[in-house]
Amino acid sequence: MTNNWFECKVKYVKVDESGKEKKVSEPYLVDAVSFTEAEARIHTELEKMIHGDFILTNISKSNISELFPNENGDRWFKAKTSFVNLDEESGKEKKSNNYMLVEANNVKEAYEFLTEGLSDMLVPFEIPSVTESPILDVFPFFKDDVNEEIPANLKPMSEFESATSDFE
């Protein structure tokens, strides 16, 4: 399944460490199938995190192709990766660039974590750049976490299957 990442910019009033209110604009990354779903998902996720009102000011399709989360990391880094492919017809090498998001504590750690994560690739690759990303948080889509409650009139398949096995 291919991920469709959308960058969502959100404006709200944040209270800093000194208790002072400050207007901020922060980018988040959301996995969604459409702009509409990205808007709905960012609202659902941020309502849990932001106290008070916030405004979604922009949604754009992201060029991120893959995520490398790391529970020990505290920031996201955007890495440009170049894969070398052989053009069958001309016999020449062709580079294709991809952008990946890596969670780490610094650029060196992000580079090492990404290199380790790509080590099983069969095609040669290079990592020409790793830079700190402004992305504050990432909200991937999980099949087990649909982000909405199951209506009362519906039952999980496991309950249905166990009920029907009683009749066999």
**All domains of the chain, ordered by start, with CATH?**
1-62+136-168 (3.10.20), 63-134 (no CATH)
**pLDDT for res 5:** 96
Taking CA 122 as the corner, what is the angle to CA 120 and CA 126, rounded to the nearest 5 degrees? 85
pLDDT band for position 150 (50/70/90)? low
Percent of the chain with pLDDT strictly greater than 90: 65
3-state helix, strand, coil in the chain (%, to 5): 20, 45, 35
20-37 per-position pLDDT tens digit: 999 999 999 999 999 999
151 pLDDT band, cuts 50/70/90, is low
Residue 117 has pLDDT above 60, yes or no: yes
Q: Which residue has the tokens 């062709």?
A: 94
DSSP state of 106: S
Reply yes or no on whether the pLDDT at 65 is more than 50.
Answer: yes
Considering the chain, what is the average pLDDT of its residues?
87
- pLDDT confidence of residue 161: 57
pLDDT at 155: 58
